[in-house]
């Protein structure tokens, strides 16, 4: 086993272990913090896939944005913290069915995909310019739609957060 | 001012005030410091500063006025009368000294540095000096004894006074015996302290 | 670098050694900055600071460090012990990761990746998580306040920083900090803050916008390292040191070190993007790999000095003023700069 394989398994272990803590932890804050390691591990695996841009974006958006947002949400709703998160089983049958279907799909994809393992590809190409060009040419429409959706979300948030003006008597 | 104007005004005003502040601090960066390196360099203390007490015991006439003036009772004075045959000398103010001062203790730990003991002194022998570093590890060391009399001298002075008193009493008795008409007095006239 | 590689004949050992270099640098640098900060602070307030340990107190930072190492490591009884122990490590890891992409010299850069500037913005968020974790795990209301304030502040100020970086990237055409520095090589006139090495008309048009961008980056970098006037997370008078109230000994030292390391990081980003990084201000005079390290550290040190000067001049902002500055002043002005620079570059 060479070094890179070992590092890959370390990242995989970090991701899976942290994900398990997220799911099984009874302490909701710890679960949120465990998410950090899960995101970090996933970013590491992206690096192994030679997707450096995606890896850093993963760190920036998930760790810097979404995780902090979740933590804020958890911490600001103080009475929620000391309530143990429910880990009991409810509605066993539908849950099992959905999980089985999902697992089946994933395993199916896993077997049918042609995993193109190419260890010769070592030099990281300049991915950022390529992604940028594709976003502004081939995938311009989805890109624009995503920005419009985000703009709508922003305006909506500003609208909700706006202080209501009292009607003048 | 319209809102837009206020916005720009605020930005430029805050930038301007920041620059003013930073100018002041950089000026102070290169001025001489106001502090001194204390144990090695000492600041001159004011002329009339009140610090440790000092008693010039040669001038003390044992009048006890400083002890009475002290608001915290930190001065303890004992005196012994002198006999007419000894001359204790004069103070620097040409006052005749009549009392031995075998004990003049100041508990400087109690002293509140008010200076009230200095003013009543008729011979100006108790003064406040500019010494302010006299911390000790043992509190007993802060009781300063200013008396310069040795134990032998004190004993001698007491003995002489006793002898003198006895002599006086004997003289009085002789006078009494010579004039028996006067009723006998109940209390002795000399009060030996 | 090849000499070292031959010396050890093992890629792994060499890369570990090379990645440890910044750690040595951080510790030495933190001591120097600690000393400078105390001295500058004292002289601004007409004092002289420490004078007894060594000549003019030169050994005092070392004494301080030894004292910190010997202190008892106290963990509050009601604290979340695991997170409490983890928090300083995560904060330091986030800070240290940024050193991977700082171009110290034309031959030394930890990892010459193509997305250096982007990476810097991303790992900054790890520090936020570390601070939030510390604030939460201390189980102390002031610490939690400090942590939440710190996170809110750092996220808000990451946006101006990111846009300022984008403007530089638009001018230089690369996210690689080494390339950005090489772009500015060749004298003070080629620095991005003065418009970069472009034709003089374009340069003249770019200059006002780059200067404003540089200034804004400077302001937001002060905010990102939680220093006065943006030190609300650590506000001593209201929050008793904020998120690191409950920390002592080694763990506190780690936060401390991470703060000073962060100070250098933001300064290094500022100079690598705007002030020519390791390139000499006199063109070819005094330039070269070794002079490169000198120029990089010296420029960053001057940057830090200005930050210290600002710190001991200005009072602390209120929370609403803090947010006002970020969202209503810095960000819109940067958008204006972004659009203008884009237009000028296209023309």
The full DSSP string for C10-36 is: -HHHHHHHHHHHHHHHHHHHHHHHHHH
> How much of chain C exceeds pLDDT 70, in percent?
95
Q: How many residues does chain B have?
A: 193
Burial class (CB in 10 A: 0-12, 13-18, 19+), C292: buried
C contacts of A29 (beta carbons < 8 Å): 80, 83, 136
What is the band of B192 on the pLDDT scale with cuts at 50, 70, 90? Answer: very low
More confident of the two residues A1 and C32: C32
Residue A64 has its nearest CB partner, among C82, C128, C152, at C128
Return the residue of C nearest to B35 by Cα: C47
Crossing angle for the helix pair C81-98 and C116-137, to the nearest 10 degrees: 160
Average pLDDT over residues A18-38: 84
Residues of chain A whose beta carbon is less than 8 angstroms from a beta carbon of chain C are 3, 27, 29-30, 33, 36, 52-53, 56-57, 59-60, 63-65, 67-68, 71-72, 75-76, 124, 126-128
| Separation CA C152–CA C131 (nearest Å) | 11
Average pLDDT over residues B128-139: 85
Residue B21 has its nearest CB partner, among C43, C45, C313, at C313
| Separation CA B5–CA B48 (nearest Å) | 59
Average pLDDT over residues C105-132: 80
> How much of chain A exceeds pLDDT 70, in percent?
83
Nearest to A68 by CA among C46, C58, C155: C155
C-alpha A124, offset from chain centre: 23
Give residue A122's pLDDT. 56
CB C176 within 8 A of CB C113: yes
Contact between C125 and A60 using a beta-carbon 8 Å cutoff: yes
A contacts of C113 (beta carbons < 8 Å): 52, 124
pLDDT at A91 over 90: no
Q: Tell me the nearest-neighbour CA distance from A88 into chain C, angstroms.
A: 24
CB C144 within 8 A of CB C136: yes
| Separation CA C295–CA C218 (nearest Å) | 19
Q: Tell me the nearest-neighbour CA distance from C90 into chain A, angstroms.
A: 10
Q: In this predicted structure, which of C32-36, C166-170, C247-251 has the lowest mean pLDDT?
A: C247-251
Name which of C93, C114, C170 to mutate to probe chain A: the one with the most chain A Cβ atoms within 10 A of its Cβ: C114
Q: Write out the two tokens for C239.
A: 């929050």
Contact status of B3 with chain C (Cβ, < 8 Å): no
pLDDT at A86 over 70: no
Residues 6+ apart with CB under 8 A from B162: B192
**Partner residues linked to B180 by β-bridges:** none
Q: In this predicted structure, which of A81-85, B37-41, C193-197, C268-272 has the lowest mean pLDDT?
A: A81-85
Q: In this predicted structure, which of B184-188, C34-38, C137-141, C319-323 has the lowest mean pLDDT?
A: B184-188
Return the residue of C nearest to A66 by Cα: C125
Local structure of residue A104 (DSSP, 8 states): H
Question: Given phi > 0 = left and psi -120 to 50 = alpha, else beta, which region is B62?
Answer: left
C contacts of B26 (beta carbons < 8 Å): 309
Q: Per the omega criterion (within 30 degrees of 0), is the bond before B127 cis? A: no
- CATH number attached to the domain at B53-152: 3.30.70.3270
What is the band of A148 on the pLDDT scale with cuts at 50, 70, 90? Answer: very high
Return the residue of C nearest to A3 by Cα: C12
Question: Given phi > 0 = left and psi -120 to 50 = alpha, else beta, which region is A130?
Answer: alpha
3-state SS assignment for residue C47 = coil
What is the band of A80 on the pLDDT scale with cuts at 50, 70, 90? Answer: low
Q: Tell me the nearest-neighbour CA distance from C219 into chain A, angstroms.
A: 20
pLDDT at B79 over 50: yes
In chain C, how many domains are there? 1
Number of other residues whose CB lies within 10 A of the CB of residue C283: 14
What is the band of C46 on the pLDDT scale with cuts at 50, 70, 90? Answer: confident
CB pairs under 8 A between A and C: 72
Q: In this predicted structure, which of A31-45, C107-121, C167-181 has the lowest mean pLDDT?
A: C107-121
Q: Tell me the nearest-neighbour CA distance from C210 into chain B, angstroms.
A: 18
Q: Tell me the nearest-neighbour CA distance from B134 into chain C, angstroms.
A: 23
**Partner residues linked to B126 by β-bridges:** B55
C contacts of A36 (beta carbons < 8 Å): 90, 129
Give residue A145's pLDDT. 93
Chains C and B touch (3+ CB pairs under 8 A): yes
Q: In this predicted structure, which of B6-20, B30-44, C66-80, C230-244 has the lowest mean pLDDT?
A: C230-244
Contact status of C13 with chain B (Cβ, < 8 Å): no
The rounded mean pLDDT for chain C is: 82
pLDDT at B193 over 50: no
Q: Tell me the nearest-neighbour CA distance from C61 into chain A, angstroms.
A: 34
Give residue A150's pLDDT. 92
Q: Which of residues 6-45 of B touch C (CB under 8 A)?
A: 7, 11, 18, 21-22, 24-26, 28-35, 37
Buried b / exposed e over B34-64, threshold 16 CB at 10 Å, is eeeeeeeeeeeeeeeebbbbebebebbbbbb
Residues spanned by the domain of C225: 79-346
C-alpha B27, offset from chain centre: 46
A contacts of C120 (beta carbons < 8 Å): none
Q: In this predicted structure, which of B46-55, B144-153, C3-12, C185-194 has the lowest mean pLDDT?
A: C3-12
The rounded mean pLDDT for chain B is: 82
Q: Write out the two tokens for C190.
A: 């080629």
Give residue A124's pLDDT. 56
| Separation CA C182–CA C112 (nearest Å) | 13
pLDDT at B191 over 50: no
- Those chains having 3 or more beta-carbon pairs within 8 angstroms of chain A are C
B contacts of C47 (beta carbons < 8 Å): 33-35
Contact between C46 and B21 using a beta-carbon 8 Å cutoff: no
Average pLDDT over residues C108-115: 75
Give residue A105's pLDDT. 94
Average pLDDT over residues A71-84: 65
Q: Which CATH class is domain A1-89?
A: mainly alpha
Give residue A151's pLDDT. 93
Average pLDDT over residues C183-200: 76
Give residue B180's pLDDT. 61
Is residue C85 situated within a structural domain? Answer: yes
Choose the most confident range, by mean pLDDT, from C18-22, C109-113, C286-290: C18-22
Average pLDDT over residues C282-308: 82
β-sheet with B143-145: strand ranges across: B75-81, B99-107, B143-145
C contacts of B34 (beta carbons < 8 Å): 46-47
Contact between B35 and C44 using a beta-carbon 8 Å cutoff: no
Give residue A55's pLDDT. 85
Give residue A100's pLDDT. 93
Is residue C49 situated within a structural domain? Answer: no
- Those chains having 3 or more beta-carbon pairs within 8 angstroms of chain C are A, B
Is residue C124 situated within a structural domain? Answer: yes
Reported as half-sphere exposure (CB side, CA atoms, 13 A), residue B64 has a value of 11
Given the structure tokens 């420490």, which residue do they identify? C50
C contacts of A124 (beta carbons < 8 Å): 113-114
pLDDT at B81 over 90: no
Is residue C338 situated within a structural domain? Answer: yes
Terminal Cα distance for chain B, rounded: 90
> How much of chain B exceeds pLDDT 70, in percent?
92
Q: Which of residues 208-267 of C touch B (CB under 8 A)?
A: none
| Separation CA C265–CA C119 (nearest Å) | 13
């Amino acid at each position: 086993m060479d070094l890179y394989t070992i590092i890959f398994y370390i990242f995989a272990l970090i991701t899976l272990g942290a994900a398990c803590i997220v799911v099984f932890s009874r302490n909701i804050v710890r679960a949120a913090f465990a998410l950090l390691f899960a995101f970090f591990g996933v970013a590491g695996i992206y690096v192994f896939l030679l997707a450096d841009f995606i890896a850093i974006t993963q760190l920036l958006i998930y760790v810097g944005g979404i995780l902090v947002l979740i933590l804020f949400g958890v911490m600001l709703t103080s009475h929620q913290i000391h309530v143990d998160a429910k880990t009991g089983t409810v509605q066993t049958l539908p849950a099992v069915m959905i999980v089985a279907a999902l697992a089946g799909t994933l395993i199916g994809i896993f077997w049918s995909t042609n995993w193109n393992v190419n260890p010769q590809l070592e030099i990281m190409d300049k991915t950022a310019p390529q992604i940028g060009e594709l976003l502004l040419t081939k995938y311009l429409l989805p890109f624009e739609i995503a920005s419009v959706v985000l703009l709508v979300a922003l305006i909506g948030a500003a609208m909700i957060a706006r202080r209501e003006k009292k009607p003048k008597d | 001012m319209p809102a837009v104007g206020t916005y720009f005004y605020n930005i430029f005003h805050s930038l301007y005030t920041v620059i003013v502040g930073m100018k002041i601090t950089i000026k102070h960066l290169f001025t001489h410091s106001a502090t001194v390196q204390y144990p090695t360099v000492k600041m001159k203390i004011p002329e009339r500063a009140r610090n440790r007490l000092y008693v010039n015991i040669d001038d003390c006439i044992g009048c006890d006025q400083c002890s009475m003036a002290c608001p915290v009772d930190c001065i303890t004075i004992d005196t012994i009368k002198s006999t007419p045959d000894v001359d204790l000398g004069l103070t620097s103010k040409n006052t005749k000294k009549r009392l031995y001062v075998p004990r003049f203790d100041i508990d400087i730990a109690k002293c509140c540095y008010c200076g009230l003991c200095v003013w009543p002194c008729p011979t100006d022998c108790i003064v406040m000096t500019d010494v302010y570093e006299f911390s000790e590890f043992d509190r007993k060391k802060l009781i300063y004894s200013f008396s310069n009399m040795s134990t032998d001298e004190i004993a001698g002075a007491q003995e002489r006074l006793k002898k003198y008193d006895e002599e006086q009493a004997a003289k009085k008795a002789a006078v009494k015996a010579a004039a028996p008409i006067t009723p006998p007095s109940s209390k002795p006239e000399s009060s030996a302290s | 670098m090849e000499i070292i590689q031959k010396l050890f004949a093992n890629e792994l050992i060499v890369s570990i050694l090379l990645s440890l270099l910044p750690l040595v640098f951080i510790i030495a640098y933190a001591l120097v900055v600690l000393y400078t900060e105390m001295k500058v602070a004292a002289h601004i307030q007409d004092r002289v600071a420490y004078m007894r340990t060594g000549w003019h107190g030169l050994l005092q930072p070392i004494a301080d460090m030894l004292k910190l190492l010997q202190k008892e490591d106290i963990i509050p009884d009601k604290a979340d012990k695991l997170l409490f122990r983890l928090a300083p490590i995560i904060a330091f890891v986030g800070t240290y990761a940024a050193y991977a992409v700082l171009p110290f010299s034309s031959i030394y850069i930890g990892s010459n990746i193509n997305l250096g500037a982007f990476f810097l913005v991303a790992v900054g968020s790890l520090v936020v998580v570390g601070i939030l974790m510390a604030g939460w795990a201390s189980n102390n209301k002031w610490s939690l306040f400090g942590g939440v304030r710190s996170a809110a502040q750092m996220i808000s100020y990451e946006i101006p920083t990111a846009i300022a970086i984008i403007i530089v990237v638009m001018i230089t055409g690369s996210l690689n900090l080494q390339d950005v520095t090489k772009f500015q090589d060749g004298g003070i006139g080629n620095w991005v803050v003065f418009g970069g090495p472009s034709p003089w008309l374009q340069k003249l048009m770019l200059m006002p916008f780059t200067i404003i961008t540089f200034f804004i980056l400077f302001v937001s970098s002060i905010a990102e390292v939680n220093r006065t006037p943006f030190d609300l997370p650590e506000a001593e008078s209201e929050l008793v040191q904020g998120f690191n109230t409950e920390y002592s000994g080694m763990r506190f030292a780690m936060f401390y070190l991470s703060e000073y390391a962060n100070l250098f990081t933001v300064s290094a980003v500022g100079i690598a993007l705007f002030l020519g990084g390791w390139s000499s201000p006199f063109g070819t005079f005094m330039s070269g790999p070794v002079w490169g390290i000198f120029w990089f550290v010296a420029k960053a040190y001057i940057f830090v000095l200005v930050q210290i000067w600002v710190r001991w001049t200005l009072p602390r902002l209120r929370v609403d003023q803090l947010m006002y500055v970020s969202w209503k002043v810095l960000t819109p002005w940067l958008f204006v700069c972004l659009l203008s620079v884009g237009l000028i570059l296209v023309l």
